[in-house]
Amino acid sequence: MTPMRDQEPGGPAAAPEGRLTTREAAELLGVKPETVYAYVSRGQLGSRRAPGGRGSTFDAKEVQALARRNRRETGTVQTSGQELAVRTRITLIEKDRYYYRGVDAVDLASRHSYEEVAEWLWTGRLRPGVSFTAPEESVAVARRAVDALPEHAGPADRLRVAAIAAAAADPLRFDLSEDAVLGTARVLIPTLVAALPPVLREHADRGPLAHRLWTRLSGRPADEASLHVLDTALSLLVDHDLAASTLAVRVAASARAHAYAAVSAGLGVIEGPLHGAAAGLAHRMLLEVLDQGSAAPVIAEELRAGRRIPGLGHRLYPGEDPRARAVFSLLEDVPGAAPALAAARDVVATTARHTPLHANVDLALAVFTVSSGMPVTAGETVFAVARTAGWIAHALEEYGERPLRMRPSGLYSGPRPPQPLPE
């Protein structure tokens, strides 16, 4: 049964579907009804006269978006229901677009390299032509540690071990000044890439970071179009608001863990199938679609098993994921990507009969890794390397905040004391 809505003075008992009464909007925003109309007068909120009444109604999604913005602007760390809000100047996601320090992230990624985008995220300044390189001593220590891992170790395992080894070799790691952390970041990212065993050994440690990463993921020589996709994907994935791994990084930085340790915290979270490993699930699905020649039996099996279809939908984008749109557009120019692109379109079209969901960046990344002859874990590696720059940005921001502020209080729900000692 549909719950009754609050009665507006002289108006109907309920607002139309998808709209809120003034009182409901005020409760959601945590303000007085008069303040809701102040938002309208300032152009921050739209209103519509309630049918047959004196009150106004408001679009529910617009009110929710304003409430999220207010939580970010009015407090450093707040909770609202089950949602944690942390004030940040790094990334804004709004109306199916996202921005790095106020600049459209897709536009920035299409015009600048991953290293240049990282510098923008860290400092708010561009350094045209910047290239990250690592000292041989740092790389040697990280490689020895990674080479000691079992052969079945995953990318997150290798990157985590490389980060810890590089930290142990850096006696200045506890210096949390901005210049020191930036120096660490510019060395750590290329060290992580160099520590991964190369698949294509020729020129494995030369050229832009995207080329060095390519040689760790594919045995095929890289063409310019494919390298452009990889570099752009790295830039698009640098940051995405307060994802689970980014929150872990900020918690570590709040406790004043050094940058290597903060990145390690992010790498520990990224292995989850709902985060960094999602592209691998989409990769496997595309291989099955290509093998069977149709998405229908593959989608049917996923739904029958009660699993969500990987690579579709995103809770922050009611419409299309802008990162997916950008990568798909570039993949049109990649030799050999047509079969995987067709398989992805088949997945989207087939699933639309059940639930109309847009492709997200995991599906776009899977098309790239499948068509490039990369292993199923390649998407997770790309994601982790890319996001390391974003984690550093958040760690830097957190170092400027009050220490240990990221410590919520527990809501104890166990038996009330005193209880007898156990037998």
What is the per-residue pLDDT across 124-158, written as a single tens digit (0 to 9) for each?
A: 999 999 999 999 999 999 999 999 999 999 888 99
Helices (H), 169-257: 178-195, 209-217, 224-236, 244-254
- For residue 154, count CB atoms less than 10 angstroms from its CB and return exposed for 0-12, middle for 13-18, buried for 19 or more: middle
∠ CA 304-309-312, nearest 5°, is 155
pLDDT band per the 50, 70, 90 thresholds, residue 13: very low
- Mean pLDDT, rounded, for 344-351: 96
Given a cut of 70, whether residue 8 has pLDDT beyond it is: no
Q: What pLDDT is recorded for position 3?
A: 37
- Mean pLDDT, rounded, for 100-113: 98
- Mean pLDDT, rounded, for 22-29: 86
Beta carbons within 8 Å of 276's beta carbon, 6+ residues apart: 156, 245, 270, 380, 383, 384, 387
Q: Which amino acid is at 361?
A: V
Q: What pLDDT is recorded for position 81?
A: 46
Beta carbons within 8 Å of 4's beta carbon, 6+ residues apart: 13, 14
- Mean pLDDT, rounded, for 276-293: 93
pLDDT band per the 50, 70, 90 thresholds, residue 14: low
Match 């450093």 to its residue by tokens.
76
- Mean pLDDT, rounded, for 408-412: 84
Given a cut of 80, whether residue 251 has pLDDT beyond it is: yes
Q: What pLDDT is recorded for position 10?
A: 40
Of residues 13 and 70, more confidence is placed in 70
Distances (CA, A) of 313 to 95, 218, 296, 421: 15, 28, 18, 50
Do 253 and 398 touch, CB atoms closer than 8 A?
yes
Given a cut of 60, whether residue 11 has pLDDT beyond it is: no
Cis? peptide before 128, omega within 30° of 0: no
**Helix (H), strand (E) at residue 342:** helix 338-352
Of residues 194 and 39, more confidence is placed in 194
Within 10 angstroms of residue 5's Cβ, the number of other Cβ atoms is 16
Q: To the nearest 10°, the Cα dihedral for 141, 144, 146, 152?
A: 180
Q: What pLDDT is recorded for position 77?
A: 53
pLDDT band per the 50, 70, 90 thresholds, residue 53: low
CA nearest neighbour of 370 among 271, 290, 272? 290
Task: Write out pLDDT tens, residues 178-220.
Answer: 999 999 999 999 999 999 999 987 777 788 999 999 999 999 9
Sign of the alpha-carbon torsion through 215, 220, 224, 225: negative
The Cα 404–Cα 407 span in angstroms is 6
- For residue 321, count CB atoms less than 10 angstroms from its CB and return exposed for 0-12, middle for 13-18, buried for 19 or more: buried
Give the global pTM: 0.80
Beta carbons within 8 Å of 232's beta carbon, 6+ residues apart: 109, 110, 326, 327, 330
Indicate the average pLDDT of the chain: 89
